[in-house]
Chain A
Amino acid sequence: MKCSDFLKELSDYLDNNMDATTKAELEEHLQWCHNCYVVCNTTKSTIEIYRGSELYELPDELRGRLQKAIVSKCECHKRETQSPETPDPKPEK
């Protein structure tokens, strides 16, 4: 197996999304190819570090404000689409 072949399979390998034979071939390559071993490990770390990063968390204050705005927009839409004579909303076609 060449390094370029290994790289093509790297994503599926990290996601554990492959058959046992291919996995064994990739792991055999990893045993002797230090470069691919390092790329594999550091790519795995890249994913983990972003997954755990809480990069764009929604602050509580903003969250409350957004929820209020959404609900009020939905209420507005509901009023506009509901005819005044029939209080029970019927889904329109």
Chain B
Amino acid sequence: MDTIEQNVAEPPSEEMLLVGAARTGDIAAFESLVRRYDRNVFRIAQHITQNREDAEDVVQDAFLKAYQNLGQFQGQSKFYTWLVRIAVNEALMRLRRRRPERMISLDEDVKTEEDSMPREVADWSPNPEQQYSQAELKEILGKTIQGLPPSFRTVFVLRDVEGLSTEETASALELSVPAVKSRLLRARLQLRERLNKYFKRRDGDSRS
């Protein structure tokens, strides 16, 4: 068999083979990529838009856009990071359409009404997860994260829920690494503060 001479010693990953095949029009290959990442894209879209219908549209539009623009994907970043960038842009566009009155930008250093300095410091119950039913807990977590500014929410979701590295998050959001770090810290602290009211240890908690 012929070998392809490349400076890069590593063989292309299975994913890059799928991307390559999809680029030549192989829709089955692209469908494999969709199956690999559709759950993640949906989660990110739902977190940003906070709306189920918008999230469904974002999933469809983001994958279609990715398919249409595969020729522009250079392989310098991971396919997933590139896809996330497309999905985040689509989601923000929908959010802006829905809330035109509010400025929604990721690169602005948002001032929030609440400071990130901890105001209330209390130990939490040993198992907040056992304190509430699954449904109650989801409601609390959903409500809490909804209150964060979109730029904090997006960084938190990519870093802490989806597990992207700081560098990948910066690349997906076209932000600098220090900007990602600053938003992540503030997002984490604000979420902690807000969850405090549900999870802090109450007088009745005897376990210590």
Contact = CB atoms under 8 A, between A and B. Distances in A.
Interface residues of A, number: 42
Residue in A11, A41, A47, A57 whose Cβ sees the most chain B Cβ within 10 Å: A11
A91 B122 contact: no
Given A53-B137, A75-B27, A43 B34 contact: no
B82 interface: no
B195 interface: yes
B128 A45 contact: yes
| Range class of the B interface residue count | 35 or more
Interface stretch (B9-17, B54-62, B93-101): B54-62
A38 B31 contact: no
Given A70-B34, A91-B23, A38 B184 contact: no
Nearest first, the 8 A-B pairs at minimum CB distance are A89-B25, A56-B46, A11-B185, A58-B42, A46-B192, A70-B63, A74-B67, A43-B192
Interface of B: 23-25, 27, 30-31, 34-35, 38-39, 42-43, 46-47, 55-56, 59-60, 63-64, 67-68, 71, 116-118, 121-124, 128-129, 137-138, 141-142, 145, 156, 160-161, 163, 166, 181, 184-185, 188-189, 191-192, 195-196, 199
